[in-house]
Amino acid sequence: MTTAENISRVEPIKLKEEEPAAISPRRLIFRRFLRHRMAVMGTIILFGVILYVTIGSIIYTEADSNFNNTSIKLEGPSQEHPFGTDRVGRDVMIRTIYGGQISLLIGVSAMLVGVSIGTLVGAVSGFYGSILDSFLGRVTEAMLSIPNLLILLVAAKFLGGRIRDLDLFGRTFSGSVVVIILIVGFTSWMELSRIVRANVLSLKEREFVIAARSIGASNLRIIKSHILPNTLAPIIVAATLSIGAAIITEAYISYFGLGVQLPSASWGNILNDGRTQVRQAPWLWISPSVLIILTVLSINFVGDGLRDAFDPQSDKTV
Amino acid sequence: MTKYVIRRLIQAFFLLFIISIVVFVLMNESGDPLATMGGRQPPRPEDRARLERQLGLDKPVMVRYIYWLIGNDWTEVDVDGDGEGDTPGTKKGVIRGDFGDSFRTRQPALDVIWDYLPNTLRLMIPAQVLIVVVALFIGIYSALNQYSIFDNILTGFAFVAFSMPIFFVALALIHIFSVELDMLPASGMYDPIKGESTSELIKHLILPVGSLVLIGLAKYSRYVRASMLEVINSDYIRTAKSKGLRESTVLFTHAFRNAILPIVTLIGLDIPFLLAGAVVTENIFAWPGMGRLFLESINRSDFPVLMCILMMTAAAVVVFQLLTDLVYTMLDPRIRLS
C-alpha cells in the first residue's frame, strides 16, 4: 500500500455529530434539576406532605381537629389515634393535618412578603445608589444587628391580638396567622436584598442596559424588564430556602406561645401544647417536629437543586 | 486607618440611635407592664394611675424615650397626680449609663442583667469553643478526603441539622438521656438537693451544650470544609508540594493558616450573639441565662430590661463587626479598608 492510497482512505473527519435538538434554557435547567437526586427526592417528599395536609382535610373536618374528649387525654399512639391525643384529648394527627396547612401557608406567604421587600430594597438601592442606597444600607444593617428571634418576639407581642380573626373559604383563621406572616416576612429580607443589590450594581453597567437607556427606556422599565429577569435565579433560590426558614421561625414563635393562636392550629403551637408534657407525652412533640424536619429538609434540597440547575458552576462546597 | 475607625464609630452611633427609637416605640406599645403587678388580681384604677406616674408610663412615648435616653433629673416628676411636677427625676439616662430600673424587681436593669449574663456565658462559651474545635477537625478532615464516606455522611448530617429546629434536638436529648436512661439532669444549673458544685454544673451543662453544638456544628464544619477546599486547590499549595515539601508542612504552614481566615470572621460575627444567649435552648433546659430573662421580661412587659438586652446586643454586634474587619486586615494584608 502506498502512502497516497493510505491518505485517500482516511475517512473525512466529521466535524460535528448530528446537531442536537435545540434545548430551551428553561428545559436545560429542568433537566439539570432532575439530575440532582436529592432535589428530586425532596420534591417527592414535599409533594407527600402537601398530599397529607390536603387529603387529610378532606377525610377529617376542622371540627374534628378541635374536638376534645378529656376522657382520652394524653393517650399514646394507638390504632384509633395514630399520633396519640393531647392534653385535652384532641387527636394529634388531625391537628397536624390542619396545623400543617397553616404552617405551609405561613411559609409561602411570609416568603412572598420577604422576597418582595428584599427584591424591592435591593433593586432600588443598587439601581439608584447615593443617599437612598446608604439609607437602605443602614436599615439593613440595623435589622441585622439584633438577633432575629428577639426582635420577632417583641414584634409578635406588639402585634399580638391586634388583627381580628378572618373568615376565608368558610373557615376561621386566627388573626395571629397574619401577624406571623407579616413579622416573619419583615425580618427575613436582608440577605436577599444584599444579593439583589450586588447583582443590580453589576448589571446596570452592562451593555444591554446602556443600550436600553440610550433608546430612552424609563428607569422602571429598565429595572422591570432588563435587570430583574437577569437576577431571577438567586431570587428563586432564596425564595425556596426562605419558605423552610419561615416554617421553622413560626415553630419557634409559636413554641413560646406568642405565635399562632386558637382556633387555628399550626405545627408550632401543637409543640407549645406539648411543652409542659415533655416527659409524659413525647408523641406531642415528636410528630409535629418530624413533619417540620421532613418539610424543611425537602425544601432545602429543592433549593439546593435549583441553585445547581440555574448555575452549574456555583460553589457546591457550602 | 484611624480615620476609617472614627467614621465607622460615628456610623455605629447613628445606627444604634435609630435602632433604639424603633425598638423603644415598638416595645412600649406592646403590652401592659402593670397587668401583672397586683399579683393575680388586676390593679385597681387608682393604684394603676399611681404606678403609671411612678414608672413614668403616663407620659407620651416620645417623652419616655427622651427620659430613657438622656434621663429626667433636669425636670420634675408628678408623683401626686395633680398635673404639676413636684419631685425631681432620678433617671440619668442611657447616655450616662443608666438603663432605668426593672419594672419587675425595681433593681437597675443593668444589675438584673449582670445576674444572668455569667450563666449565659457559662453555657455559650463552652458550646462555642467546642463547635469551633470540633468543626475545625471534621471540616479539615472531610476537605482532605472529599467525597469519601465520612465526607458524604457529614454533608448529609449538615443538611439535616440545617433543617432542624433546635428544640427538636433538645427535646430528643432530654428524652433519651434524662427520661429513658435517667443519666443526666434536664433542667436548671444545679441540683437543689446536691448543692452548687463544679461537677454538678458540668453535669447540667452536657445536654444544653450538646444540643447547641449539634446544631452549630453544621454551619461551622461546612465553612471550614469549603474554605479548606478552596485553599488546597490553589496554585501556591501545588507549588509548595512540587517543591518537595512534606505533606504536613504544606498542610499546616501553608494551607491551614489561610483556610482559617474566613472562620475568624465567622467567629467574630457570632460572638456578640452569644451574649443574647440561646433563647430556645435556655428555655427548654430552664437555664437561668439571658435568653430566659428575655422571655420572662417579654411576658411581663419589663421594658427597661428588654431595652437593655437589645441595645447591649446591638452594640456588641456593631463593635464586633468593626473589630472583625480590623483583625481581618491584619491577618490578610491584601485587604485595604476604605
Q: Is A180 left (phi over 0), alpha (psi -120 to 50) or beta?
A: alpha
Mean pLDDT of chain A: 83
Segment B175-183 mean pLDDT: 84
Q: In 3D, which of A316, A310, A303, A42 has the Cα closest to residue B155?
A: A316
Determine which helix (DSSP H) or strand (DSSP E) holds B325, and give its type and residue range.
Answer: helix B303-331
Residue A316's pLDDT is: 47
Are A155 and B296 in contact, with CB atoms under 8 Å apart? no
The answer to whether A153 contacts B294, with C-beta atoms less than 8 Å apart, is yes
Residue A2 has pLDDT above 90, yes or no: no
Q: How many residues does chain B have?
A: 338
pLDDT at B163 over 80: yes
Name B158's Cβ contacts closer than 8 Å, sequence gap at least 6. B218, B219, B221, B222
pLDDT of A1 reads: 45
d(Cα B192, Cα B182) in Å, to the nearest integer?
17
Residue B276 is nearest to which of A150, A251, A293, comparing CB atoms? Answer: A150
List Cβ neighbours of B276 (8 Å cut-off, separation of 6 or more).
Answer: A147, A150, B290, B291, B294, B309, B313
Stretch B264-293: mean pLDDT, rounded?
85
Task: Inform me whether the C-beta atom of residue A153 falls under 8 Å from chain B C-beta atoms.
Answer: yes
pLDDT average, residue stretch A141-155: 84
Q: Is the pLDDT of residue A21 over 90?
A: no
Asked if A162 has any chain B CB less than 8 Å from its own CB, the reply is no
Residue, of A80 and A149, whose pLDDT is higher: A149
Average pLDDT over residues A39-54: 92
Q: Does A158 touch chain B (CB under 8 A)?
A: yes
| pLDDT of residue A18 exceeding 80 | no
Banded model confidence at residue B238, pLDDT cuts 50, 70, 90: confident
* Number of CB atoms found within 10 A of residue B143's CB: 23
**Mean pLDDT throughout A116-122?**
94
Provide the pLDDT for residue A296.
93
pLDDT at A117: 95
Cα separation, A82 vs A93, whole angstroms: 7
Question: In this predicted model, what pLDDT tens digit does every residue of B62-92 receive, in sequence order?
Answer: 888 888 888 877 777 777 767 677 777 777 8
DSSP string, chain A: --HHHHHHHSPPPPSSSSPPPP--HHHHHHHHHHH-HHHHHHHHHHHHHHHHHHHHHHHS-HHHHH---GGGTTPPP-SSSTT-B-TTS-BHHHHHHHHHHHHHHHHHHHHHHHHHHHHHHHHHHHHH-HHHHHHHHHHHHHHHHS-HHHHHHHHHHHHTT-S--EEETTEEE-HHHHHHHHHHHHTS-HHHHHHHHHHHHHHTTSHHHHHHHHTT--HHHHIIIIIGGGGHHHHHHHHHHHHHHHHHHHHHHHHTTSSS-TTS--HHHHHHHGGGGTTT-THHHHHHHHHHHHHHHHHHHHHHHHHHHH-TTS----
Q: Is B111 a residue whose pLDDT tops 70?
A: yes
Q: Residue A13 has what pLDDT?
A: 57
pLDDT above 90 coverage of chain A, percent? 23
Parallel/antiparallel/unpaired status of strands A171-173 and A166-168: antiparallel
Domains located in chain A, CATH noted: 36-59+90-310 (1.10.3720.10)
B162 close to A (CB below 8 A) = yes
CA distance A189 to A119: 8
pLDDT at A19: 56
Q: Once rounded to an integer, what is the mean pLDDT over residues B13-38?
A: 81
Q: What's the whole-model pTM score?
A: 0.84
Alpha-carbon gap: A143 to the closest alpha carbon of chain B (Å): 8
Q: Torsion angle, CA of A119/A123/A126/A131, rounded to 10 degrees?
A: -100
Residue A160 has pLDDT above 70, yes or no: yes
- Cβ contact, residue pair A297, B168, below 8 Å: no
Interface of A with B in 33-72 (CB under 8 A): 38
Nearest CA in chain B to A140: B15
For residue A139, name the pLDDT band (cuts at 50, 70, 90). confident
Identify the structural domains of chain B with CATH numbers, from first to last.
2-96 (no CATH), 109-337 (1.10.3720.10)
Average the pLDDT over B219-226 and give the result: 89
- Asked if A150 and B294 come within 8 Å (Cβ–Cβ), the reply is yes
Cross-strand bridge partners of residue A91: A85
| Average pLDDT of every residue of chain B | 84
- Number of Cβ pairs < 8 A linking chain A and chain B: 117
Mean per-residue pLDDT for A58-64?
79
Decide if B144 touches A, using CB distance below 8 A.
no
Query: What contacts A105, CB < 8 A, 6 or more positions away?
Result: A177, A181
State the nearest Cα–Cα gap between B170 and chain A, in angstroms: 11
Long-range interactions of B199-205: CB distance < 8 A, separation 24+ = B201/B122, B204/B285, B205/B122, B205/B123, B205/B126
Q: What is the pLDDT of residue A12?
A: 57
Range in A116-125, A132-141, A262-271, A275-284 the model is least confident about: A275-284
- Is pLDDT above 70 for A314? no
CA distances from A47 to A43, A54, A295, B54, B180 (A): 6, 11, 9, 58, 35
- Secondary structure (3-state) at B307: helix
What is the per-residue pLDDT across A218-276, written as a single tens digit (0 to 9) for each? 888 988 888 888 888 889 888 998 999 999 999 988 888 888 887 678 898 888 877 77
Among chain A residues, the shortest Cα distance to B291 is held by A150
pLDDT given for residue B129 in this prediction: 94
CA distances from A6 to A1, A9, A10, A13, A15 (A): 7, 5, 7, 15, 21
**pLDDT the model gives residue B50:** 78
Angstrom distance (rounded) from CA A261 to CA A180: 10
Mutate to test the interface with B, among A103, A152, A157 (most CBs of B within 10 A): A157
Name the residue of chain B whose CA is nearest to A295's CA: B163
Q: Is A255 on the interface with B (CB under 8 A)?
A: yes
- 3-state class of B87 per DSSP? strand
Asked if B174's CB is within 8 angstroms of A278's CB, the reply is yes
Residue A167 — φ and ψ, nearest 5°? Answer: -110, 110
User: Which chain A residues are within 8 Å of B175, Cβ to Cβ?
Assistant: 278, 282
Percent of all residues in chain B with a pLDDT value above 90, rounded to a whole number: 11
Using CA atoms, how far apart are residues B252 and B240, in angstroms rounded to an integer?
12
CA-based nearest residue to A161, from A174, A151, A171? A174
